[in-house]
Structure 1
Amino acid sequence: MGQRLSGGSQLLITAFVHFQSSFIFIFQDYLEENSTSIYHDTVSIGGGSVFPQIQPQSRPRTESLDLNPESSLIVEISGAVSDKDRVLFTIHTKTTLPEFKHTECTVKRMHEEFIWLHNYLVEHDQYAGYIVPPVPPKPDFDASRAKLQRLGESEGSMPKEDLQKMKAELEAFRSLFLQTPKIWADSSEYLATFKKTVAMHEVFLQRLAAHPALRHDHNFRVFLEYEDELSVRTKTRKEKAADFFKSVSKTADEALRLTNQRDEDQFFREEKCLLTSYHAAVKDATAAADLANLQRKTMAENLLRVNLVLDNLVPKERLCTSEADLVSVLSSFFEGYQKIQVRLASDEDLKFSDTLRYYASDAGAAKDLLYRRSRALADYEAANRALDKARAKMKDIQAAEDAQFAANDRFKTISECARLELEDFKVRRIKYFQKNLVDFAELQVKHAKAHIDLVKSTLDRLRDIQPASSSSVMKEPTDSVGVPATERTVSLDDAFGSAVPFL
């Protein structure tokens, strides 16, 4: 083959040559006999035997699950830029609401400003009866930046296989920041992470824009139309410690004081049991989906290593031999199959795992709403006891009555809003799951078709390879003292038994 190969490489190539004909026969028979076997449990609408050709439809960015395109307030994120340790989101708003100064505006916001808006809405007592959308996850590109830095520092000392693997992984990431102005193209896991981050931030804003009460909030309006930075600071250690003790107090309050609370409203009793079970089930499903997605990514990484090993078997100067052609075809197959698995893993993460993760967070927000209602009920009961004591002592009766009236009014207001919010949560949850699962199924069909096309094209290329002779002459390498080894002829029949004839 133009250069001497090790004994292991010679044995591997010989095994591939021997396996070529069996490989073609097996896959040809499989495709002819099971052309629709991967869809054995799928029937087209109307009961036909032909599988439907589903073409994914691209939807405009303004069309979202929770936002009517004809709404008076439309919010979308038109782009995002990674700037060192922060990500700037470009937010475009169109509105006809009279409280806005402009009908159309564009601003740039950081992730910390999203957190500030979410915390304000959660802590504001005026919105205690509403489900505040979950805060979007923090953009995390430390791993990709670390790989870029490691690639630059270790290019001379890193093993060839690891260097090729890292360059392949970072190819799409470099094109994202150096060439691609938009971030919606389908690419690697890094681009999928970027796309996922933008989508989560956009859903958060669109949920607020579609809400009949939250959309009129003053701070939300400032967030959308104030052109300069909001100068939002992160919480200090003291504030973080206070939040931690507050969460511990809330957990203890739920476990000790509110567990045995008597609620006369059957609707909220059933919703509490349902949300508790649903939240636990969705969290378990999210963990299982993440584990399955991790295994697919691991398989894609192993396929990349196989591809690199096969590439190293082919000499730089391509020789017209059947062994070199066979290794080249197999290398191309594993390369294409690895790319399909990477895209499928990204789609599974975005359309399936993130769907479960998002509604685990949203179910947690609904549970927080029920906690605030239970807390308001406990305050109302405490106000009733205080009023009874004041009347018994004939002291501060008016103040106790005012406190009792305010607690009763707050509890009723929260209950009325919470009932509507929980009913809307059911409808939105089903609609959201349906949309993302349908999109995920379309993407799976797309990747399955790409996989079938890859196998078919590989079979066609294998058929075009001219088979080598039944015996080939292989020279052994010289020994350690430089004495050339004797030449000998090795027959495939002698090495592997009766060979299967080539096509």
Structure 2
Amino acid sequence: MVKSADGVIVSGVKDVDDFFEHERTFLLEYHNRVKDASAKSDRMTRSHKSAADDYNRIGSSLYALGTQDSTDICKFFLKVSELFDKTRKIEARVSADEDLKLSDLLKYYLRESQAAKVRLGCEELMMGILVCILKQCRAVWLGSQRLVDWGRRNEDLLYRRSRSLVDYENANKALDKARAKNKDVLQAETSQQLCCQKFEKISESAKQELIDFKTRRVAAFRKNLVELAELELKHAKTGFLCVAPAILELTQ
């Protein structure tokens, strides 16, 4: 309840640092782009999975027809059924790789950008980030978990910075009132200086965290996209080596 009330208090405060204003603008655009890319990636992954399911149904039907008799047409059906089974496996692997290397990556950073966007904009509070990468191996999962832990620390850091900014501005107002009344000026000045130092220190930490996260984010996207491209090329080559000989055999 205390944090929720603080969220309302800090929501109307304009940031005094151009860096954080720029980050807020960037994160709004970045979040929308990642959200759109994530939705498109999910559709692409579902399309490949749907194609694999269709290949499976067609192959099963052809296999059923091919086992009805020992005629040439039935043998032809069996060969085509085998081809569909191979292409089904390739499409299924393509779908799984795209889901792992692209869709999960985009979903994770969609949550991260939402968390950072909320903190920078001070719109509301979030209690944590849950990661849904269920298909990754243990090493990849641990790496993602470290990023989640970082996201939680970063959320709290940016929240405390916003809270510190409010305290600093309140201290400035209190100092102005003390000077106007010529009462408790020294105490107000001391409080104002402490708030200023705290705000500057936490701003520096938050800025470095955002810079570090950008570096990690770019590295993660580059790594996954390069690996995905390599896998796509591998699957395309496998598909060609599978389909081309089969077509030649069927046409003979």
Q: Quickly name the TM-score band, shorter chain normalised.
A: 0.7 to 0.9
Q: Does 1:305 align with 2:57?
A: yes
1:280 to 21, 32, 40: 32
Instruction: Give CA deviations for 1:53-74 in whole Å, capped at 9, x if unaligned.
Output: xxxxxxxxxxxxxxxxxxxxxx
**Alignment pair present for 1:462 and 2:240:** no
| Corresponding residue for residue 331 of structure 1 | 81
* Aligned counterpart for 2:229 among listed residues 420, 441, 464: 441
Aligned pairs for 1:183-332 (under 5 A) are 246=4, 250=7, 257-258=12-13, 261=14, 263=16, 265-315=17-67, 319-332=69-82
2:197 maps to which of 409, 422, 438: 409
User: Of the candidates 234, 240, 249, which is equivalent to residue 452 of structure 1?
Assistant: 240
Residues 386-395 or 346-355, more deviating: 386-395
- Offset at 1:433? 1.3
The one-letter amino acid of 1:451's match is: G
TM-score (normalizing by structure 2) = 0.73
Residues 310-389 of structure 1: matches in 2 within 5 Å? 310-315=62-67, 319-367=69-117, 370=120, 371=122, 372=159, 373-389=161-177
TM-score under structure 1 length normalisation: 0.39
Distance in 1 (alpha carbons) for counterparts of 2:6 and 2:105? 30
Question: Does the 8 A contact of 2:62 with 2:81 survive in 1?
Answer: yes
Structure 1 residue identity aligned to 2:197: D
Distance 1:287 1:253 in 2: 34
User: Which residue in 2 is equivalent to 1:158?
Assistant: none
Give the secondary structure class of the aligned counterpart of 1:257.
coil
**Which residues of 2 match residues 29-40 of structure 1 at below 5 A?**
none
Q: Percent identity?
A: 40
1:425 Cα deviation from its structure 2 partner: 2.5
Q: 1:300: how far off?
A: 1.8
Distance change >3 Å, CA 365–CA 406, structure 1 → 2 = farther
Unaligned runs of 5+ in 1: 1-241, 464-502
> Aligned-pair distance for 1:249?
7.2
8 Å CA contact 2:172–2:192 kept in 1: the answer is: yes
Kindly state the Cα deviation for residue 455 of structure 1 after the two structures are TM-superposed: 0.6
Q: Does 1:424 align with 2:198?
A: no
User: Conserved in 2, the CA contact under 8 Å of 1:352 and 1:440?
Assistant: yes
Q: CA deviation at 1:460?
A: 4.1
TM-fit CA distance, 1:438: 0.7
CA distance in 2, matches of 1:423, 1:326: 61
The structure in which a higher percent of residues are helix is 2
Which structure exhibits the higher relative contact order, with contacts defined as CA atoms closer than 8 Å and separated by 6 or more residues?
2
Q: Name the CA shift for 1:393/1:249 in 2 (closer, same or farther; >3 Å).
A: closer
- CA-based RMSD: 2.7
Superposition deviation, residue 315 in structure 1:
2.9
Superimposed CA distance per residue, residues 84-123 of structure 1 (whole angstroms, 9 cap, x where no aligned partner): xxxxxxxxxxxxxxxxxxxxxxxxxxxxxxxxxxxxxxxx
Aligned partners of 2:6, 2:80: CA distance in 1, in Å? 61
Quote the Cα distance in structure 2 between the aligned partners of 1:406 and 1:374.
16
Task: Give the drift of 1:394.
Answer: 5.3
Using the alignment, how far apart are the partners of 2:195 and 2:60 within structure 1?
Answer: 69
Q: 1:266 to 1:363 in 2, by over 3 A?
A: same
Check 1:253–1:385 CA distance in 2 against 1; reply closer, same or farther (3 A cut).
closer
Letter in 2 for 1:314: G
How far residue 450 of structure 1 moved from its aligned partner, in angstroms, is 1.1
C-alpha distance in 2 between matches for 1:411 and 1:367:
20
Instruction: Provide the C-alpha distance between the structure 2 equivalents of 1:396 and 1:309, rounded to a whole number of angstroms.
Output: 89
Comparing 410-419 with 360-369, greater Cα deviation is found at 360-369
What does residue range 25-64 of structure 1 map to in structure 2 within 5 Å? none
The one-character-per-residue Cα deviations of 1:130-183 (angstroms, maximum 9, x if unpaired) are: xxxxxxxxxxxxxxxxxxxxxxxxxxxxxxxxxxxxxxxxxxxxxxxxxxxxxx
Structure 1 partner of 2:127: none
Partner SS, residue 454 of structure 1:
helix
* Change over 3 Å in CA distance of 1:390–1:346 after alignment to 2: same
Contact 2:66–2:76, Cα closer than 8 Å, also in 1: no
Task: Report the alpha carbon displacement of residue 257 of structure 1 after superposing the two structures with TM.
Answer: 0.7
**Cα gap change, 1:357/1:410 in structure 2, threshold over 3 Å: closer, same or farther?**
same
- C-alpha deviation, 1:325, in angstroms: 0.8
